[in-house]
Amino acid sequence: MRNIEIYDTTLRDGAQAEEISFSVEDKLRITEKLDELGVHYIEGGWPGSNPRDTEYFRKARKLSLSNSTIVAFGSTHNPKNRVEDDLNIKSLVDSKARVITIVGKTWDFHVREALKISLNANLDIIRNSVSFLKKHAQRVFFDAEHFFDGYRDNPEFAIKCLLAAEDAGAGCLVLCDTNGGTLPHDIERIIKDVLKTVKMPIGIHAHNDSDCAVANSIIAVKHGAVQVQGTINGFGERCGNANLSSVIPNLQIKLGLKCITDDQMKRLREVSRFVNEIANMGHFKRQPFVGDSAFAHKGGIHVSAVRRRSETYEHIKPELVGNSQRILISDLAGRSNVLRKAEEFRIRIEPDSPELQAIIDELKELEHQGFQFEGAEASFELLLKKALGLHRRFFDLIGFRVITEKRKEKEETISEATIMVKVGKNVEHTAATGNGPVNALDNALRKALEKFYPELKNVKLQDYKVRVLAAGKGTSAKVRVLVESGDEKNRWGTVGVSENIIEASWQALVDSIEYKLLKEKE
């Protein structure tokens, strides 16, 4: 089995993405998580370019990494400086990184227009920079910037740049599709040409501006590249970099090339979500391999098939990448969907029972009204238990009132909810304020019930989404409210639908509390 080096640049190239910024502590936490995943190289940043990256390399030396080597990134020396006097080169050496990656121009257009030097002078800069750094690091990688564009315009010069780095001792020549515009068939053609000339191992660094970064990385490896550079979740400037969350399983599971261990592969989804959380980015549900929807099934025919043999509608076993099969509940569902979800909830339903058909009929009617249970499985579990007589009421609403007022133009809006509920023979009447009407209602309901059910003190409203269902009706349109709640152990979703946003929110809030109490009493 051929081994492929995985080179992660989430902390440097990934951090150049719009809306992403990592603190030093963020970068250190991600470094440890990437080490657990088993990536070979972690590009920590550009020492000397900013105080944050300089501090990272100082603190990273104290990390106890088991699998990964931290890499410092920089550029070839400034044409105006001697290599030994260049501050960028000095910062790379001062980082004390065992491996250094240095980027250099390989497109004659950039040499003439950006550096404004001769082509021969650029070759000297590459040669001098790599040679000098080789004296201070175990390995030096050369990132051939804009290589594919450069090869297209002037193949002879692009190859000379690689040979200059090779002659100076570069351990890997990384071909960069910096503008992200090269298509897979050109990647294949150019790599074949390159390997006729260079002797050192080559790598691939692909950007995703043509949505081909993953495909280009796979093609490059298939035709001889031994190192793949990319980022977790495809973070990166403009449209991003090659997504290692897809590259790694494609190479290892599909092509049989060794990237990480099988146990490490099972952590792929965990690492993907961890990086998203640290970056404060939402999880992309439809992301291949690691997304929530990657192995989710909705159509009844599909569900019936995967219940018998998962490979009928799944290209790999989701457990290989730390994911799991999900059966979604919708008006497309048949008996197989409901039975599968009942199994997950440990609820027994006979396949030929009248209760099952009644559940399916109610489900389809509710979704016709606008309910959606794909993101509200707690509400669906309650629906099942109500239909089967397994539900119990913990309280009855006598009434509530929500007031929102703004007293002066520049003052904040004030929301207050008053509520009266009956628990057994007891009536509780209370009020609470909140950041908005829904938050006030949530606070008032909890305040009224916590006296009887103290376990509700641990429940927090984690997320709240509103979707307008009927376009064209403006503010009179029906809305669907999805609420995500959680305690110290679990998270669960509930749903409500109404023309009145407060009523829809109330439905979702009540389901959330009833779900928590039912689980506590099981």
Identify the DSSP state of 347.
-
Given a cut of 80, whether residue 394 has pLDDT beyond it is yes
Q: Count other C-beta atoms under 10 Å from residue 62's C-beta.
A: 7
| pLDDT, the chain, mean | 91
Which amino acid is present at 284? F
- Give the DSSP letter string of 374-442: TT-HHHHHHHHHHHTT------EEEEEEEEEE--STTSPPEEEEEEEEEETTEEEEEEEEESSHHHHHH
pLDDT at position 299? 66
Lowest mean pLDDT, pick from 99-113, 299-313, 345-359: 299-313
Report phi then psi at 130, rounded to 5: -65, -45
The domain made up of 395-452 has a fold known as Double Stranded RNA Binding Domain (3.30.160)
- Burial string for 260-280 (b: 16+ CB within 10 Å, else e) reads beeebbebbbbbbbbbbebbe
Q: Which of 34-38, 94-98, 103-107, 366-370 comes out lowest in average pLDDT?
A: 366-370
Q: How many whole angstroms separate alpha carbon 277 and alpha carbon 291? A: 14
CB neighbour list of residue 175: distance below 8 Å, 6 or more residues apart: 144, 147, 148, 190, 191, 194, 202, 203, 204, 205, 220, 225
CATH fold for domain 5-260: TIM Barrel (3.20.20)
User: Are the beta carbons of 443 and 467 closer than 8 angstroms?
Assistant: no
Are 44 and 8 spatial neighbours (Cβ–Cβ below 8 Å)? no
Q: Pick the more confident residue, 331 or 282.
A: 282
Kindly state the DSSP code that residue 260 receives in the 8-state scheme: S
Phi, psi of 89 (to 5 degrees): -65, -40
Where is average pLDDT lowest: 18-22, 32-36, 223-227, 474-478? 474-478
Q: Which of 17-31, 144-158, 295-309, 379-393 has the least mean pLDDT?
A: 295-309
Q: Can you give the pLDDT at residue 226? A: 98
**What pLDDT is recorded for position 333?**
56
Identify the residue with better confidence: 327 or 466: 466
Which stretches of 252-332 are DSSP H helices?
A: 262-265, 268-279, 300-308
Which residues have a Cβ under 8 Å from the Cβ of 417 and sit 6 or more positions away?
400, 401, 402, 403, 431, 432, 433, 434, 437, 440, 441, 443, 444, 445
d(CA 13, CA 242) in angstroms, rounded, equals: 11
Query: Taking the CB of residue 4, how many other CB atoms lie within 10 A of it?
Result: 23
Q: Where are the domains of the chain?
A: 5-260, 395-452
pTM equals 0.73
Average pLDDT over residues 51-60: 95
| Angle at 198 (CA atoms; ends 90, 144), nearest 5 degrees | 40
Percent of the chain with pLDDT over 90: 69
Q: How long, in residues, is the chain?
A: 522
For residues 200 and 171, the answer to whether their CB atoms sit within 8 Å is yes
Three-state DSSP at 5 gives strand
Query: In angstroms, rounded to a whole number, what is the distance separating the alpha carbons of residues 346 and 184?
Result: 48
pLDDT value of residue 472: 56
